[in-house]
Structure 1
């Protein structure tokens, strides 16, 4: 790989952080490709944790009612932050952006705002909503029936402004549901470690926002969708709908598709394969 290869920027999904790409980044570094992982708005070093999770004695009612410290974060902020991160990483030049899960909605917004800065948009089992469709509407589509994430919420998102998981729960069935939702094919020890790194609140405003897509904007950016056949967070039928809707809207720029037989988190279960897919892009 030449020193002037297009840089790669990795963006995580809801509840995760830049940490989730560490194994993939190691493989990409071995290829000699410049790459960096960043935190989404309201996550990682920008996250806020509700006081109810650390207050003792534990108050179950507060878990369901305390307004989230990230309630004000929306898709506009998340998209603007990603654009600034892309500008920094690419030094004003184009960057290949790999987004996972809800990070896909943020990538879509950033690519629509600044298509000249996104050399290639890679959706790793990510939300890729059609024009003017919020990601939350996709969550509720028939194609996503059977997903395990929404049943894991421990508060009304409309009331607290966030999608809240009870990551400190000692309910074994609940914790297994979280593993099944995100880390079904991940080594159990790694899955437990990942659960310990998740942020409990994901800003609802990111999923509530929508982006108007244009042919000269997002529609002009080369894109690849990586499907995951065992995904229990974004079901395979919904992944296929994203691809079909995009290709119908922008037939002159069809989606390249790569299939993985993985759960929602192939960056943990098969990081070498994810790195290989990314490494083959221009």
Structure 2
């Protein structure tokens, strides 16, 4: 089983889930997505002193050239290496969803089961970014936190250098509303400020023989304030309408956007049987 994190996070976010999966008899490996973790590149303002709010809003991101193609190429290489050429279950959280979708479309023989944990799952050949502007997304807690213009910066940027208590509280509510405060604070300190906007603007044309043939499960997080439940269910409805012969299996967790930190044991229990 290959576990892929969402934007601003890294493979570290699965550290509480992997032991449960291994204890349940599954091999599980968490990997970094392009532009994140060991592939992250921090903008200069992030460590420069004194703090410069103008630079936060204007400095072009060092990951501005990372595209959905790049992210999919990296994930495909990871899947091939980990599975040894055999199909594996791939679990995608949040903005890793479009990356998994591209890999499953290109190489359906290598994805035994595609699992979307409160993730973007466009099924109509439109970019994931389009779903941040639909009526169902109104009121999400992430959009007000994004700094600058993503089309100019080349990234979706969050300001983890600010000491503004209201902003930091907004981060907590958006990502970690039901996570232990100490764990949430530790996780926030590990987040990467820039996530490549190109991953959200890329598109994948889906076919019945590609992504449409791969078994898929969607884990709805009913307390999510980043990708709200109505948006999650829209993904499911559109996928099922596009590929009615291969409907989405749906399970729910009473969790926020980060069930890998708030309910790792429960999340692992849902994942264990998938793709066996």
* 1:215-268 per-position Cα deviation (integer Å, ceiling 9, x unaligned): 000000000000011101001100000000000000000000001111000000
- Aligned residue number for residue 8 of structure 2: 15
Alignment partners' CA distance in 1, 2:268 and 2:92: 13
- Aligned residue number for residue 130 of structure 1: 123
* 1:76-119 per-position Cα deviation (integer Å, ceiling 9, x unaligned): 00011111110001000000000000001110011001000000
Q: Specify which of 122, 141, 164 is matched with residue 148 of structure 1.
A: 141
- Aligned residue number for residue 212 of structure 1: 205
Alignment partners' CA distance in 2, 1:180 and 1:270: 16
TM-score, length of structure 2 as denominator length: 0.98
Q: What does 1:115-264 align with in structure 2 at a 5 Å threshold?
A: 115-264=108-257
Mapped contact 1:27–1:275 kept (Cα < 8 A): yes
Match of 1:119, SS state, is strand
Deviation of the 1:171 alpha carbon: 0.7
Mapped contact 1:131–1:210 kept (Cα < 8 A): no
Match of 1:207, SS state, is helix
Q: Specify which of 74, 83, 94 is matched with residue 76 of structure 2.
A: 83
Alignment partners' CA distance in 2, 1:56 and 1:187: 31
- Aligned residue number for residue 3 of structure 1: none
- Aligned residue number for residue 4 of structure 1: none
Match of 1:226, SS state, is strand
Deviation of the 1:26 alpha carbon: 1.1
**Unaligned 5+ residue runs, structure 1?**
1-7
**Unaligned 5+ residue runs, structure 2?**
none
- Aligned residue number for residue 54 of structure 1: 47
- Aligned residue number for residue 58 of structure 2: 65
Mapped contact 1:164–1:201 kept (Cα < 8 A): yes
TM-score, length of structure 1 as denominator length: 0.96
Alignment partners' CA distance in 2, 1:150 and 1:220: 33
Q: Specify which of 247, 259, 264 is matched with residue 266 of structure 1.
A: 259
Mapped contact 1:152–1:165 kept (Cα < 8 A): yes
4+ aligned runs moved over 3 Å, structure 1? none
* 1:106-134 per-position Cα deviation (integer Å, ceiling 9, x unaligned): 10011001000000000000000122110
Deviation of the 1:277 alpha carbon: 0.8
Mapped contact 2:124–2:238 kept (Cα < 8 A): no
Alignment partners' CA distance in 2, 1:270 and 1:222: 24
Mapped contact 2:118–2:232 kept (Cα < 8 A): yes
